[in-house]
Structure 1
């Protein structure tokens, strides 16, 4: 059972997200918060697998809450709930090590897929969010793409395969099944990829995969 903390200051949004999560018998909402400070307290009390945090909340915004959780409860996977027009917040959350980015207006299936992926230790970016991050935040888009391709080129062919699948939000188990190798080998590849790319987590590696045009979105 995947245990989820849901934090949003709008009761209707919480109700909608809760209803979507309830459609999956393997997901349970264990706590709800209306502000960031309450979200941190409840996360420390309940230790959920995943914390779904709205970016804009009173008392403590979602980004500050995510940063506190990263320090105090690094085992809790953080997924940010965002809307278009909040690009600078997405950039900050990425830098702070959030594991997922979802649009409130996105497909309900993305919400469930994102929660499952992050609970499994993977990263998940809504395709629209990933596209927005790359095209709107990069500024010098061609320069960023060229730099990403150079960094990816330093990887072995197998590592690039793993990076491409990581960029699609696949878990270690899913990557292992896709490449017909054992999960332990995938973990070793992922660790090597993070080190060689000099990035902090799977989300940052996924962004490089997108920028380097390694990700097949079909």
Structure 2
């Protein structure tokens, strides 16, 4: 019987990854820890390994520009426990992450025992949120959360592209040019599963329902020089 437990830590702070990996192994009995320093790298790791049961994401790492990416990970990997471990204690960050459907939001400021307890509760099915979330948000925080929930577009719909990761932008460009997922994967040297996650994140960020709508939005939003390459 295979009793291995695999976790992914996505954080650009190498020392924090080491410390968190030690906690996962020593207190929660994980047998293998995978690491990545950016959102794009984390998505590629998830597509390569089907045995990852827990994925921990930092909100401030490269590529993490909106909660839509976390929601896409949840859509493609519904059985995966997705957790934000962040130094941010802003209520707007916590609520926007929870809106994406994550399994918990754990502050980095917790001690080792508290952190292990919070992650253990998440693994047992609890949706963990910091005690600070219990209070009522201010009007400015509510407005910030509402903007995240509605999407990242401004009134004219032109800000969305700024919130895509570099890899998502590459995928969108190739989609606009008419390439299939398999062709995009081959051109970018990615797995098809990785492309699928990026595509799901694009649908959420662009607020579209299918490839045709995404391609139309990309053709409108991408700079002319890019979309005609």
TM-score relative to the length of structure 1: 0.55
Residue correspondence of structure 1 range 19-34 to structure 2 within 5 A: 19-24=22-27, 26-34=29-37
Q: Which residue of 2 aligns with 1:130?
A: 131
1:10 to 6, 13, 26: 13
1:117 to 118, 121, 145: 121
Deviation at 1:19, TM superposition (A): 2.0
- How far apart in 2 are the matches of 1:124 and 1:25? 16
- How far apart in 1 are the matches of 2:39 and 2:66? 6
SS at match of 1:137: coil
- How far apart in 2 are the matches of 1:99 and 1:76? 9
Deviation at 1:116, TM superposition (A): 2.5
- How far apart in 1 are the matches of 2:122 and 2:47? 18
Residue ranges of structure 1 left out of the alignment (5+ in a row): 141-218
Corresponding pairs, count = 136
Do the aligned partners of residues 66 and 86 (structure 1) sit closer, same or farther apart at CA in structure 2, a change above 3 Å counting?
same
1:40 to 38, 43, 47: 43
Q: Give a deviation string over 1:68-108, Cα, whole Å, max 9, x none.
A: 21111111111111224433211101111111111111021
Residue correspondence of structure 1 range 166-177 to structure 2 within 5 A: none
- How far apart in 2 are the matches of 1:70 and 1:138? 29
Q: Give a deviation string over 1:48-84, Cα, whole Å, max 9, x none.
A: 1111110111123473432121111111111111224
- How far apart in 2 are the matches of 1:79 and 1:109? 17
Q: CA RMSD in A?
A: 2.4
Q: Which residue of 1 aligns with 2:190?
A: none
Deviation at 1:40, TM superposition (A): 1.5
Do the aligned partners of residues 86 and 25 (structure 1) sit closer, same or farther apart at CA in structure 2, a change above 3 Å counting?
closer
2:73 to 59, 62, 69: 69
Residue ranges of structure 2 left out of the alignment (5+ in a row): 141-229
Q: Are the aligned partners of 1:87 and 1:136 in contact in 2 as well (CA < 8 Å)?
A: no
Question: Quick check: 1:78 aligned with 2:78?
Answer: no
- How far apart in 1 are the matches of 2:86 and 2:66? 10
Q: Which residue of 2 aligns with 1:153?
A: none
Do the aligned partners of residues 67 and 32 (structure 1) sit closer, same or farther apart at CA in structure 2, a change above 3 Å counting?
same
Q: Are the aligned partners of 1:91 and 1:137 in contact in 2 as well (CA < 8 Å)?
A: no
Residue correspondence of structure 1 range 176-215 to structure 2 within 5 A: none
SS at match of 2:69: helix
**Relative CO higher for 1 or 2, CA cutoff 8 Å, sep ≥ 6?**
2
